[in-house]
Chain A
Amino acid sequence: MVSEAAGTPARDENGRGFSTTDLLGRAAPLLFLLVLIAVLSYLEPGFRTERNMFNVLRQVSVIGIMAVGMTFVILTAGIDLSVGSVLAFCGMAAAIVARGSRSLLEGNDPGGIQVLWAALAAMGAGLLIGLFQGTLIGYLRIPAFVVTLGGLGAWRGATLLLSDGQPISGVSDDFKWWGQGFIGRVPVPVIVFIVFVAIAFVVLRYSQYGRWIHALGGNQEAARLSGLNTNLLTASVYGISGFCAGVAGFLLTARLNSAEQVAGQGYELEAIAAVVIGGTSLFGGEGGVIGTFIGAMLIGVLNNGLVILNVSPYWQPIVVGTVVVLSVFIDQFAKRRRRGG
């Protein structure tokens, strides 16, 4: 054929290109988290306690679970603004089912069965809502921003209709265990959160589906011309996001012992913030759920630290907002250096 010298060798010798700046860009959120923990531990010994650490984890678990679903969406260069409202709707659905089954089965002490129905209602509602929105986005090609912005309003309204404007308070102890209980010394929602992160990690990293999601987010046209069913794949990530919001709604209702109309308001932005801080690109194709876990932890530790240091809670959103912008800046800076642009 042709001599070796004729071809141009590849430019980058570093495999995937782990240059120093690149590594710094990737590890920045983790480094920042560790430094923050160290500083807070030094300033306030109360921060370091096991109880407080689990407290932080419990607080981030609801948003964290939503952020896991959001990671799939953002990997395809999409966005899901509806998750906060979907959470409220599903939490309300769970409470209504639980209440209904209690009166229905009164005296029989239905125990876990009642909670099972409630959980299924929340997860099922979340999945269906997500798939419905996903169908509009994937098959009818309505922009995700528009569909889920509509959902943000509509599912909040549906929650009000469902509950007739009244919160539903007081669920069974079995139900509450999911939000307030412990397994060993670990809070239950924290375990659910970690299980979700682990499953998402394995799926994104080792499964065909995970590969397809990355391909779709990296180059939709190339994915389509490689024979992937891009419409179905697009729809599916919103199904996952809705499902996660449903689970989060169930856990929040359990934790608060009440399903509120205003539950989860603004959570969509925190979930997106966690994903973005974690290094997943809003342009799709790059990132992962471990970053999202770190991002969620970072938000949780920041909020907790501000409380412990007696800073006005009004500062919390300002600090989180700043961290979002800063983390994206550092990430892009590192990439520019790597690509020599």
Chain B
Amino acid sequence: MCLPLRWRGVAEGTDNVEDSRPLLQMTGIDKQFPGVHALDDVSLEVHSGECLALVGENGAGKSTLMKILSGVYPADVGTIRIDGREVHPHNPHHAQTLGISIIYQEFNLFPNLSVEENIFIGREPNRAGFVRRRMLREDALAFLSQLGVDLDPGAIVRNLSVAQQQMVEIAKALSLNARIVIMDEPTSALTENEATALFRIIRGLKARGLGVIFIGHRMEEVFAIADRISVLRDGRNAGDMPAGEATAERVVQMMVGRPVDELYVDHVAESIGPVVLSVRGLGRRGTARDASRVVLEGIDLDLRSGEILGVSGLVGSGRTELARAIFGADAYDEGEILLEGRPARIATPQDAIERGIALVPEDRKLQALVLLLSVRENITLPTLSRFSTLGFVRRGAERRLVERFIETLRIRTPSQNQRVMNLSGGNQQKVVLAKWLAREPKVLIVDEPTRGIDIGAKAEVHALLRELADSGVAIMMISSELPEILRMSDRVVVMREGRVAGELSRDDVTQERIMELSTGVRHDAPAA
């Protein structure tokens, strides 16, 4: 997708923004999670008849802020006002009664029920507990026609397209008398035509005096629909301006603009060796219902011994899918994987592991650890055969190996026999790393290696990855955190929509360049 160099605000319908009291006002919102200061004194305003675009990097705090607004969890500090009246949404249902409706990327619909049943689920017009079907149909039609949507209220939701399901969600929000509608990346699964139709509906909502909060990544769309743009960065307000006064470059810079000294930690790879792993023309389509969707397409990639290759891109850009394809966790449709120049048939994780590839997956609790088993049993799971005789585990040898890893990785656990579920996130992640280091892999793929772990453990994991690279391991590091990518990578590959959007050498890489490649916005002037 080639975009014009510069996007100016082209929003329509700005004329009916009333400059009176804001419809929604969030002030001084603060939220801490264990080890993370997710939101720090964040404020936000939405006026009646206005569409506000809320933008920011992955992890900037957009979702947390919206979850607080929709009552998923409470703010530690701060106030929410609707029409000037202070409210405390304490659960999503309560938020709905306050007029706040949120439409998630993953819809909350019942696929086996019809459109009308979904719109009025739990609120069906009834007589003595029996649903009044005709009234149900009429009411559903009324809301659908308000949206200008031509949809059969009796259709089963499972058979609808993603765009149509989204319309059902919006109709449901209308039927709940929503005054503020939050849309979390609503266009991510839509075609261009569908997105255009969605924008028409958003304008309709604005005309009715609703406030719309649009969470998005694509600058093109943000400028097409938003009246105002609010930028979050690292859990703080980073900027707020009318869309007409903004430019894409300025918004991107606000999204990433950290003090320069934080961005560059000097490191030069000691010795980058020959290519260990190559990916050629790798492609994969979606399965079953969305068989036409491109998951991965035409991926070419080389990974050298001794280097850390950073893989950046937005969530859903195909980074994790690429890692899983290389590791044999998911099948791919086309292309090949070469190890040390020779084609390698990798159909299962077993194949990959035998060839010296290891994967630290993105969700350690769901994909990497057996929480009920001990630290020892988890670490030795892929290496058990090495210290087994006739199928029986030699406990002494096993214990010595685990002891060594607990020491070198500084895993803080009272004993090897501690169940991993009782460890902190950072120590759990070290257990996952230890489990693969015990196999002495040639290629180590790490997917979000420091997600949800505290700063101390994070630095330790970074140091460990660097040490491994220096010892000759080829490392592919997927991360949503740009500072992590910048600090760690010898080279960066940016993915967008299942393809490699660009490659940046260590000397060229900046946050701005990565954001441009991952959002599809290009401009000439490289950021200072």
Contact A221 B366 (CB under 8 A): yes
Nearest CB of A to B355, in Å: 11
Name which residue of chain A comes closest to B329, CB basis: A225
Contact B370 A285 (CB under 8 A): yes
> Does B125 interact with chain A (Cβ within 8 Å)?
no
Contact A225 B393 (CB under 8 A): no
- In the bound complex, CA of A214 to CA of B376 (Å): 13
Query: Can you sample 22 A-B contacts with CB below 8 Å?
Result: A6-B454, A6-B456, A7-B412, A7-B457, A8-B412, A8-B457, A9-B412, A12-B419, A206-B392, A208-B392, A214-B377, A215-B370, A218-B373, A219-B371, A221-B367, A222-B368, A223-B381, A224-B349, A225-B349, A225-B361, A225-B367, A226-B381
Q: Which one of B228-236, B276-284, B293-301, B420-428 is at the interface?
A: B420-428
- In the bound complex, CA of A206 to CA of B394 (Å): 8
- In the bound complex, CA of A16 to CA of B375 (Å): 10
Contact A8 B426 (CB under 8 A): yes
* Chain B residues with CB under 8 A of A11: 422, 424
- Which A1-46 residues have a C-beta within 8 angstroms of B? 1-3, 5-17
> Does A192 interact with chain B (Cβ within 8 Å)?
no
Nearest CB of A to B390, in Å: 9
Nearest CB of A to B286, in Å: 20
* Chain A residues with CB under 8 A of B425: 8
* Chain B residues with CB under 8 A of A3: 456
- In the bound complex, CA of A209 to CA of B391 (Å): 7
Contact A1 B391 (CB under 8 A): no
Name which residue of chain A comes closest to B456, CB basis: A6
Nearest CB of A to B325, in Å: 13
> Does B353 interact with chain A (Cβ within 8 Å)?
yes
Instruction: Kindly list 15 other residue pairs between chains A and B, CB separation below 8 angstroms, not including A221-B366, A226-B435, A228-B350.
Output: A1-B410, A2-B456, A10-B414, A11-B422, A11-B424, A16-B418, A206-B395, A207-B388, A209-B391, A214-B377, A215-B373, A218-B372, A225-B361, A226-B368, A227-B353
Tell me which of B348, B372, B382, B414 contacts A285 (CB under 8 A). Answer: B372
Q: Interface residues of A: mostly helix, strand, loop or mixed?
A: loop
> Does B384 interact with chain A (Cβ within 8 Å)?
yes
* Chain A residues with CB under 8 A of B361: 225
- Which A193-243 residues have a C-beta within 8 angstroms of B? 206-209, 211-212, 214-215, 218-219, 221-229
> Does A174 interact with chain B (Cβ within 8 Å)?
no
B334-362 to A contact mask, C-beta < 8 Å, 1/0: 00000000000000111011100001010
Size category, A interface = 35 or more
> Does B459 interact with chain A (Cβ within 8 Å)?
yes
Nearest CB of B to A25, in Å: 15
* Chain A residues with CB under 8 A of B348: 229
* Chain A residues with CB under 8 A of B321: none
- In the bound complex, CA of A5 to CA of B455 (Å): 11
> Does B385 interact with chain A (Cβ within 8 Å)?
yes
- In the bound complex, CA of A59 to CA of B418 (Å): 39
Nearest CB of B to A339, in Å: 8
Contact B359 A225 (CB under 8 A): yes
Contact A206 B368 (CB under 8 A): no
> Does B460 interact with chain A (Cβ within 8 Å)?
yes
